[in-house]
Structure 1
Amino acid sequence: MKPKETVCFNIKYSWHAISRMYNERASKYGTTAAVGFILLNIDVEKGTAATHIGPALGMEATSLSRVFNTMEQDGLIERRNDSSDKRKVTIFLTALGKDKRQIAKDFVLDFNNKVREQVSESKLNTFFEVLHEIQSIIDNKNTSLT
């Protein structure tokens, strides 16, 4: 089987193309796609527990911590300790963070709308079903590789 015929190659190739597209756009605003995704995963009103953001994005704690430090230095987020448990940290968006979040949200929605204009709903539904099945295989470790 040729690499281009494998599931992994096609998922990775597509994701890298999407990631490059998002990074190109983000660079125009002095940020990265990773920062954009983090901004999109922070509740605008209530903030979000730092421990909930990493799993939502598939990021390791050390990588996330570095990005949080940069985001805080850039004035995008503010970290607040819980008054009853100092170990708990909630991430809040600053005014600048909210602005950058909206830019990221608009671009993600624009890309999704363009895909939906060109790909039928039934094909997209099948695509999502297949991705969920692949994720289920991974989650259940139903491969001979594990």
Structure 2
Amino acid sequence: MKEKTIDYVLRATWISIAKMYNEEASKEGSTMATGFALLSIDPENGTPSTSLGPKMGMEATSLSRTLKTMEEKGLITRKKSPTDGRSVLIYLTEFGKEMRDYSKKVVLTFDEAVKKEIPEEDLQKFLEVAYKIMDLIASKKIYKE
């Protein structure tokens, strides 16, 4: 294709970012998905397992696999909710909190590098366009039901 479509550029960019994050995570024996999960879990109060999937945009099966691996590596523990016996809360272990800090550092390093290279007004316009695209999708304005 002579002209790249918007979705191509977004997808190719995200694939590059994901590859970069996975390379960094692998230095600590981890993955991008694990890092994202660590950042999505409240480090003080835990997070209901049912809210993690929507928060991360992950399917239940993938999330279950990720959480199982995280539990096996000693990053998280699961406990029944004290207010709702049917609900399970995910808590970070001390090791999980350390790895969460590492994941946060990786994300902030990327953020700072981009901000150094791209003028503030360009970044603001990019974010504005990205949020408009997300709104178009969420409001079902592209493909009517």
Q: Which band: TM-score by shorter chain?
A: over 0.9
The 5 A counterparts of 1:9-20 are: 9-20=8-19
Cα distance, 1:57 vs structure 2: 1.1
Alignment correspondent of 2:24: 25
The 5 A counterparts of 1:41-120 are: 41-120=40-119
CA contact (8 A) 1:4 1:10 kept: no
Residue 90 of structure 1: SS of its match in structure 2?
strand
In structure 2, give the amino acid aligned to 1:96.
Answer: F
Matched, 1:122 2:121: yes
CA 1:8/1:89 → structure 2, altered by over 3 Å: closer, same or farther? Answer: same
How many correspondences in the alignment?
145
In structure 2, give the amino acid aligned to 1:108.
Answer: V
In structure 1, give the amino acid aligned to 2:56.
Answer: L
Q: Distance in 2 between matches of 1:134 and 1:70?
A: 33
CA 1:140/1:3 → structure 2, altered by over 3 Å: closer, same or farther? Answer: farther
CA 1:127/1:138 → structure 2, altered by over 3 Å: closer, same or farther? Answer: same
TM-score, normalisation: structure 2: 0.95
CA contact (8 A) 1:3 1:9 kept: no
Q: Distance in 1 between matches of 2:117 and 2:76?
A: 36
Q: Distance in 2 between matches of 1:133 and 1:103?
A: 31
Cα distance, 1:4 vs structure 2: 5.2
Cα distance, 1:54 vs structure 2: 1.0
Q: Distance in 2 between matches of 1:89 and 1:14?
A: 35
Q: 4+ runs of 1 displaced by more than 4 Å?
A: none
Alignment correspondent of 2:4: 5
In structure 1, give the amino acid aligned to 2:47.
Answer: T
CA 1:133/1:117 → structure 2, altered by over 3 Å: closer, same or farther? Answer: same
Q: Distance in 1 between matches of 2:2 and 2:139?
A: 24
CA contact (8 A) 1:26 1:33 kept: yes
Q: Distance in 1 between matches of 2:135 and 2:51?
A: 21
